Structure formats: structure tokens, C-alpha cells
Amino acid sequence: MEKFAKETEKLIGTPLSETQIEAFKLFENELLSWNEKFNLTAIREISQIRSKHFLDSLTCALAFGEKKSGRLIDVGTGAGFPGIPLKILIPQLKVTLVESIGKKARFCEHIIHQLGLENVKVIQSRAEDLGQNPEYREKFDWAVARAVANLPILVEYLLPLVRIGGKVIAQKGGSAPAEAHQSDHAIHVLGGRLKQLLPVVIPGVAEERYLVVIDKIGATPRMYPRNSGTPSKKPLS
């Protein structure tokens, strides 16, 4: 874990406290334990959990800029990535985790309780439904997602949840430049503007990684997101 702490400081520029290191240890142990019964993630080696789950999640902080507080929604969080590592790194964040699969949502609730995290909510739902719910629509400073859908689909999940002036951060692999190009129209229609493609290099991860950062500059039209399942079947183009 000492190596992980050093890699985190080098990557993010922020040293981890002993409390944060202990939180990551507990998260790691619980993930390994639950994985034996529920198959939460295909990654089962400790070194891979630290690089491909923890470090990869924490790279989202590189797109936050000076603002290190506010409301963050993590759509399709799975076993809590990237939302829970970001909450451990930046305790003042108010985090909402969205996951449609029950066993993964239950694990998130379990680990939040085990870690004693405050201002973290788990919602078992589809993003399309939340985007039309006044309680969540255009209420967040950041919407983040990792390995959820191709970008033309993903922006319809995320942009309706972000307030004007907020940001979408989509974690992507080597296809990010092509996906960003394919998403031009969808981003514009949904009230966004592509800000940057931020390449990130993670120790122990050979694959290309990018953060696709999108500014919310205008209100999302009321018809978006469309009904559950429609964005994936008929992506905006």
C-alpha cells in the first residue's frame, strides 16, 4: 500500500493521509471478499485493483481544477468506481452513486457503511429515469462515468444531470478521440461543449486512458434523456 500511496501522490499531486490509506485497505479487502461470492469485478489481483480501479478512479480529480467540493454523481458506478475513491480523496464532496444492478448497489451501501462515509447516497436506478427526475436533473457540479457506454450514448445519460456551469468527466480508453468526434452533435444538442481530451498515464496500466471533459453551457432540452433503453438503441447523431 506504500507504493500505491506514492503513486497516488505522483499522479494526483496530493499525499494521502494515514486515514485515507487505511480506507483504501479496507475497501480493497471488502472488494476481494465480496468478489468471491458475487463477482463484482473481473479484476481480482491486488496490484490490478490498486492500478485499474483505485488509481484510475482518482485521475478524475485531475479535471476538477481549483474546485474541490460540490455535488458529484457517478453513473453506472458498479462496485463504487470512480465515486468512492474520489470521496476518500476529497471528503468534502457530496456523492451520489447510481447503479442498476442490485448486488453492486448493495456492495456500495455496505462499503459506505464500513468506511463511515458521510454525504454519500446509493440509488438503484437507470440514468435515463434520474435525468427526468426534478430532484436530480441539472443539480450536480460533476457527472462522472467509467466503462458505461460509448460517448454519444453516455452524454445523454450525464449532461441532463449537470447544472449549467458544471462538467461531465467521462473516463475512456484509446477510442476517446474518435468517440469525442462522433459525439459533437449530441454534446451540442444536450447543452454541452467539449472542453478537453486529457490523456492520463497510470502506473501498471499499458492501455491508453483519457478523461473526456465536457462543460455544461446551456440547459438540456426537456425531451432528454429519452425513455430507458432509447439512448443505447438510437444514439443521438
Amino acid at 99: E
Query: What pLDDT score was predicted for residue 162?
Result: 98
b/e map 188-225, b = 16+ CB within 10 Å: ebbbbebbeebebebeeeeeebbbbbbbbeeebeeebb
Spatial distance between the Cα atoms of 34 and 109, rounded to a whole number of angstroms: 13
Q: Output the pLDDT for position 45.
A: 80
| Backbone φ and ψ of 46, nearest 5° | -60, -45
CA 67 to chain centre: 17
User: Nearest to residue 76, comparing CAs of 128, 152, 147, 6?
Assistant: 147
- Would you state the pLDDT for residue 142? 97
pLDDT number for residue 149: 92
> What pLDDT is recorded for position 148?
85
pLDDT tens for the chain, 237 residues: list them: 889 999 999 999 989 999 999 999 999 999 999 888 877 777 778 888 899 899 999 999 999 987 778 999 999 999 999 999 999 999 999 999 999 999 999 999 999 999 999 999 999 999 999 999 999 999 999 999 997 899 999 999 999 999 999 999 999 999 999 999 999 999 999 999 999 999 999 988 888 999 999 999 999 999 999 999 999 999 997
What's the rounded Cα separation, in Å, for the pair 199 and 183? 18
Instruction: Give the pLDDT confidence score for residue 170 in this predicted structure.
Output: 98
Task: Reduce the secondary structure of the chain to three states and give it as a string.
Answer: CHHHHHHHHHHHCCCCCHHHHHHHHHHHHHHHHHHHHHCCCCCCCHHHHHHHHHHHHHHHHHHCCCCCCEEEEEECCCCCCCHHHHHHHCCCEEEEEECCCHHHHHHHHHHHHHHCCCCEEEECCCHHHHHCCCCCCCCEEEEEEECCCCHHHHHHHHHHHEEEEEEEEEEECCCHHHHHHHCHHHHHHCCEEEEEEEEECCCCCCCCEEEEEEEECCCCCCCCCCCCCHHHHCCCC
CATH number at 19 reads 3.40.50.150
What pLDDT shows up at residue 206? Answer: 86
Instruction: Give how many domains the chain has, as a whole number.
Output: 1
Structural domain for 202, as ranges: 2-233
